Amino acid sequence: MVTYSATLDVPRHLVEFLARHLAAHRRRIGTPKGSRTLGPFRQAVLVLRWFREHGCVHCLARDADVSQATGYRYLHEGIDVLTDQAPDLHEVLTRCHSEGMAHLVLDGTLIESDRLAEVRENGNDLWFSQKHKAFGGNIQFLSAPDGTPLWVSEAEPGSTPDITAARIHALPALYKAAAEGLPTLADKGYQGAGIGVHTPIKRPTGKGEGALHADTRMYNALLRHVRALGERTAAELKERWRTLKRVTLSPNRIGDIARAALVLNGQWK
């Protein structure tokens, strides 16, 4: 057996932020002082290691000198505490209005998971995305014009198209925001989303790029340019919080995990 020291590459104030919320949660549920194997700070380190390093839970539990079952319990508790801090969509839109943002960027991404046996009525796998050729959950997110992540939705099964997931979780609120002067930019997958959601204009099937009028091509190019920073949001979240590259917990937790990562990302300074 070889022991070694390691460094968790997150700001210390981020660990303290999570530890404070874990301590408040313990007080709220009446946990007796000293009854836990790990204090709030060490539990926060375990949770952040899982988000940052995508480590296996039994390895994290071993390093923290707790059982695997306790490690999972601590991890799920940390995810729940963080998810409770995630902003509501209406709160986000109100803040964007007050800050005078010119637009928002709507996009979706697949958070991959292990293979699932759940099937739809037509016999296809419910959590399998034909677009990405992988199992996982469809997450919708909004970002500011500069690419700052603002909001993350609940997860829908991977077979759900972006436009359908957006109609469930985001579009009703975005229509109201657009009517108040805050439009949304999106890619071709959201075509037909409705008034206030601006998407590129597709060229006719079987036609070349020249089939579009020059003004239309310019419109598409400008929209693509303005939307570009916002579309890097998913990559930023996945690279910083590597557990989002492939979630090994229940896929029903994908939405909570993504919102927890959004909270952590907002505290990263």
Domain map of the chain by residue range?
12-83, 89-248
Residue 235 has a pLDDT of 87
Beta-bridge partners for 140: 108
Residue 268 has a pLDDT of 84
**What is the enclosing helix (H) or strand (E) of 203?**
none
CB 24 within 8 A of CB 40: no
Residue 1 has a pLDDT of 67
Rg of the chain over all Cα atoms, to the nearest angstrom: 21
Residue 210 has a pLDDT of 64
* CA 1 to each of CA 47, 55, 58, 72: distance values in angstroms, whole numbers, following the listed order: 25, 19, 17, 24
Residue 209 has a pLDDT of 62
φ/ψ of 17, rounded to 5, equals -60, -50
Residue 6 has a pLDDT of 77
Q: Is 0.85 topped by the overall pTM?
A: yes
Residue 207 has a pLDDT of 65
Residue 230 has a pLDDT of 83
Terminal-residue alpha carbon distance, the chain: 37
- What's the rounded Cα separation, in Å, for the pair 173 and 136? 26
Residue 234 has a pLDDT of 87
Which residues does the chain have with pLDDT short of 50? none
- What's the rounded Cα separation, in Å, for the pair 196 and 20? 40
Q: Tell which residue, 25, 46, 79, 78, has the closest CA to residue 253.
A: 79
